[in-house]
Structure 1
């Protein structure tokens, strides 16, 4: 076949295949255009899940009548004019492809009026064929109407799902938008009936993440809002703010994970990896964290022009971004302690105050190794303490409710497993093994972090077969590998010579570990494989060293454990992500017995 120029209509339909995946894609493009035009209220009318009709009306700046034909021309935009503009995009849209692509696969009309125009104008387009521009009464702003999506591309239309499914995709995208733009009112109708409304919350100029907890409650529900920890941290030209859910609130899927980069909702594997690492030892196996995070940086530091639908971005300093997000969230989660109900913030924010009750009631700080410390117990509490199960329980001294510690004072042990404690507003139940396991684990980690990673030289260097890319990564990241405990040199195009390994992991499959570390360094710019395997070993040690079930503890021992929980990072979960404590308020207990009815 000879080379020939494709007709404009076919070019637009090809572009539509990249930009317009389903009705939700159309809503996204049209609403983003409305936001770029300065809209404060957007009405979205849908029929049959958006397949029959999508109508988006806004009160933005509007379009001049003479510019309407240009608005549906390919690569025509008011948002960029030069390469410098493209490298620092501050608007949601910028390609100039959305309207012509949508118009090429639907029965389309565009109507608009600016504030100083005497009347509006409308331009119809049918399957890419432009109609006649005509005057039309119209309020200030723009209305885009899209009917019969994919009517002229039946193969694409057959891939659309059921009405309820398509509507669900639209509602999910609007929920994501509502979180990022609480100052904008969104009204949605479906088949002529009101479907959803997000009120404008009036926080112009404020941060969506810090000024609008109402929108968080409105979009993600009360359970997320009650478990949300506020994050706020800035460093190295980066700023991260928003909410992360406490580890106890987790999901089976990633359905409550929202990430915004400079106000744009995106998916990014590097940041998702950083979040996952931050939750590594506080989340139950297979569960997903929930978060709403806003990352802000210089627009020149992020390339938004890497995906036709603008779902993904590329960071120029991806390692810096990954490390910044990981450290911020790791610090925020470290601030979560059993009994502390206030926000835990990332580094640089107002972290929770030191527990004022930690030393209020002096307690013996025992290792709780009952079998190995009977003599110590006897010396402290008398001979009867060595056989706690036979000893009479000492009565708790009366204390003022106002001075009770966050986890209260121990009053009993239940079935040799749980500690019951009286608090200001009710009852706390603590899993003593899980709590002591976390305390021991954090102490072991702190001790090993203090001495750093020790190397163990190998008597006989180990030859490790790798790919050429892995060998190049090893050469480039030699300093990073040394910090992780590896001494590596290149022994050929596809081989490395391993001369030293992390001492704590000397018995592991170090060749496989090295390859995994190199894969992480190549993809994310950092690796926590060594730290992760070290933590697994320390976790096992802490588990074996923790107090066992059916061990009778004295009240001072129980209170010592409660005070250590209040002072230990991440003590709300054990090393495996299981909760260590639960609170029952007096009001809830009253309901058990129908008191007050």
Structure 2
């Protein structure tokens, strides 16, 4: 077979394969053009999952009459003049490939009118060939209709998914742009039915309420973090929303990231969000998050992938750090609204038969404590202010102590049934949130040792410990080398000052080579300091655990992901006793 130069039409169809993968790809390119044109209102109309019709109308700046045909020519763009422009690009599109690629594999009609022009322009293109080009009356803006997608490349049609799948792809795409551009009003119609509408009033919260529903949005909290530009490091700002730990999903697809208004897929930044929830979610569960990252355009390369869904940061660690810190701080700072629970009219407690007398449990209702000072249990650390002033309603209500069973579980009653609380796991959660907050705020209290506390370090772990001495000091541990493989403990976190730290050190040595070593050490310290299973607690001690657990950010999950409590509603109890 002889070598031949491909025809322009075939070249366009091949190039279209990189840009136009499916109907949602067409919607994406047309939406980005509308946004780059400064549109305030965008209307998307789709039939048959985009196979038969995709129409995008906008009130943007429009296309000048003499540039309409040029706009559908390959590599024609108004976004770039030189390579320097590419390094600081702020528009969504810039390659000049989208319109020509779409036109090469469909039948397109465009009606547009630029600001300052009295008459609009209509042009029809069939498989890349211009069939009609004429003036027409039209408002300022652009309407592009794409019909019979892939009509001239039937092999491409075979690779499309079902109509419902393509519809879902388009809906997901439009809602992403609505999140990134809350000042723009988006309307999406599919097969004559409106499936999404944003109000364009500029509030991301309004968009998320439409997407998630009001009840789910109430489980979202604000995220904001900022790093100013320093020598060698870029300025980075992160804003948006993330879910409370109680609101989670089975996969990570609900973590949505934008960079300078562009939706991106970035496994490292997604991991940063997930790591911020470490100790708050069970394994296999993932948060919901919508985060908008703003960074100078020269600090990010968007010209990495044909779909521009992947980007490359000049300093990825700086961005990773701000994202993780922003989410983590939002979670730590979220607190419970103050309420008056002194009145017993808030709850209905079961009436106990006068024929039954318990010598083990005092069934007299106890007052609900709202003071910041807890009673009893001196070894329970007080949850600091800042964790105690929540912004969102929580899933754990105030509880009434009933008693203890097996010296391991605390029995409590709430407005919706019975709670069995694992005293060790619950105390771990309380201590973990306090310790983590102190670590993030750099306010960990240390207790120095006046005596001698020595421990031996295995040779294979010696280098790891030496490399982590600085990390340990930020967590409240002060160690010094005292011989070849012997270390002296000079200070420990005040949290464990009454315990023997020698018993803890082997466990710490075993996690020094792990990722997120700070979090792992915090977990170990809290497990070490927490009250133990099998430990009999007096009434004041149990009440103190309950009161502090109520104020925790994630009261239902221990730092290691295990549950802290089991809840049985009144209905569940009734079913167990065959009363329903």
Q: TM-score range by the shorter chain?
A: 0.7 to 0.9
1:99/1:569 CA distance change after superposition, 3 Å: same
1:106/1:169 CA distance change after superposition, 3 Å: same
Structure 1 CA distance for aligned equivalents of residues 12 and 456 of structure 2: 62
Instruction: Identify the residue that residue 103 of structure 1 maps to in structure 2.
Output: 103
Structure 1 CA distance for aligned equivalents of residues 506 and 68 of structure 2: 68
1:569/1:144 CA distance change after superposition, 3 Å: closer
Instruction: Identify the residue that residue 197 of structure 2 maps to in structure 1.
Output: 198
Q: How does 1:384-533 map to 2 (within 5 A)?
A: 408=398, 410-413=400-403, 417-420=409-412, 432-441=423-432, 459=459, 504=506, 508=510, 513=513, 528-531=515-518
* Cα displacement (A) at 1:5: 3.9
Structure 1 position 301 matched with structure 2 position 299: yes
Structure 1 position 73 matched with structure 2 position 73: yes
Instruction: Identify the residue that residue 378 of structure 2 maps to in structure 1.
Output: 365
Structure 1 position 561 matched with structure 2 position 545: yes
SS for the counterpart of 1:230 is: strand
1:418/1:340 CA distance change after superposition, 3 Å: farther
Structure 2 CA distance for aligned equivalents of residues 5 and 480 of structure 1: 61
Which of 540, 548, 556 is matched with 2:533 structurally?
548
In the TM superposition, what whole-angstrom CA distance separates every residue of 1:249-300 from its partner, at most 9, and x where no partner exists? 1101223221111111111112111112111111111111111111111111
What RMSD in Å do the two structures reach over aligned CA positions? 4.1
1:179/1:115 CA distance change after superposition, 3 Å: same
Which of 205, 210, 221 is matched with 2:213 structurally?
221
Structure 1 CA distance for aligned equivalents of residues 309 and 262 of structure 2: 9
* Cα displacement (A) at 1:229: 1.1
Instruction: Identify the residue that residue 575 of structure 1 maps to in structure 2.
Output: 559
The question of whether the paired residues in 2 share the 8 Å contact of 1:231 and 1:332 is answered with: yes
The question of whether the paired residues in 1 share the 8 Å contact of 2:375 and 2:540 is answered with: no
* Cα displacement (A) at 1:548: 3.0
In the TM superposition, what whole-angstrom CA distance separates every residue of 1:424-475 from its partner, at most 9, and x where no partner exists? x999885544311223445777799878xx99865479999xxxxxxxxxxx
SS for the counterpart of 2:111 is: strand
1:246/1:443 CA distance change after superposition, 3 Å: closer
Structure 2 segments unaligned to the other structure (5+ residues) = 229-234, 340-368, 382-395, 447-453, 473-483, 488-504, 576-580
Structure 1 CA distance for aligned equivalents of residues 3 and 160 of structure 2: 33
The question of whether the paired residues in 1 share the 8 Å contact of 2:428 and 2:527 is answered with: no
* Cα displacement (A) at 1:76: 1.0
Q: Structure 1 length normalisation: TM-score?
A: 0.71
1:537/1:197 CA distance change after superposition, 3 Å: closer
Q: Structure 2 length normalisation: TM-score?
A: 0.73
The question of whether the paired residues in 1 share the 8 Å contact of 2:40 and 2:200 is answered with: no
Structure 2 CA distance for aligned equivalents of residues 126 and 569 of structure 1: 59
Structure 1 CA distance for aligned equivalents of residues 161 and 338 of structure 2: 43
1:96/1:217 CA distance change after superposition, 3 Å: same
The question of whether the paired residues in 2 share the 8 Å contact of 1:232 and 1:241 is answered with: yes
Instruction: Identify the residue that residue 276 of structure 2 maps to in structure 1.
Output: 278
1:190/1:509 CA distance change after superposition, 3 Å: closer
Instruction: Identify the residue that residue 234 of structure 1 maps to in structure 2.
Output: 226
Structure 1 position 244 matched with structure 2 position 242: yes
Instruction: Identify the residue that residue 352 of structure 1 maps to in structure 2.
Output: none
Structure 1 CA distance for aligned equivalents of residues 511 and 251 of structure 2: 32
Count of residue pairs brought into register by the alignment: 484
1:6/1:504 CA distance change after superposition, 3 Å: farther
The question of whether the paired residues in 1 share the 8 Å contact of 2:174 and 2:188 is answered with: no
* Cα displacement (A) at 1:334: 2.3
Q: Higher mean Cα deviation, 100-109 or 177-186?
A: 177-186
1:409/1:554 CA distance change after superposition, 3 Å: farther
1:3/1:481 CA distance change after superposition, 3 Å: farther
Structure 1 CA distance for aligned equivalents of residues 558 and 63 of structure 2: 58
Instruction: Identify the residue that residue 333 of structure 1 maps to in structure 2.
Output: 331
* Cα displacement (A) at 1:535: 5.3
In the TM superposition, what whole-angstrom CA distance separates every residue of 1:112-150 from its partner, at most 9, and x where no partner exists? 112332221112111122223112232221111111111
SS for the counterpart of 1:32 is: helix
In the TM superposition, what whole-angstrom CA distance separates every residue of 1:182-228 from its partner, at most 9, and x where no partner exists? 2222222222x22323132422xxxxxxx342221111123321111
Structure 1 CA distance for aligned equivalents of residues 460 and 376 of structure 2: 52
Instruction: Identify the residue that residue 288 of structure 1 maps to in structure 2.
Output: 286
Structure 2 CA distance for aligned equivalents of residues 332 and 506 of structure 1: 28
Instruction: Identify the residue that residue 358 of structure 2 maps to in structure 1.
Output: none
Instruction: Identify the residue that residue 267 of structure 1 maps to in structure 2.
Output: 265
SS for the counterpart of 2:110 is: strand
Instruction: Identify the residue that residue 27 of structure 2 maps to in structure 1.
Output: 27
Structure 1 CA distance for aligned equivalents of residues 419 and 511 of structure 2: 44
* Cα displacement (A) at 1:565: 3.2
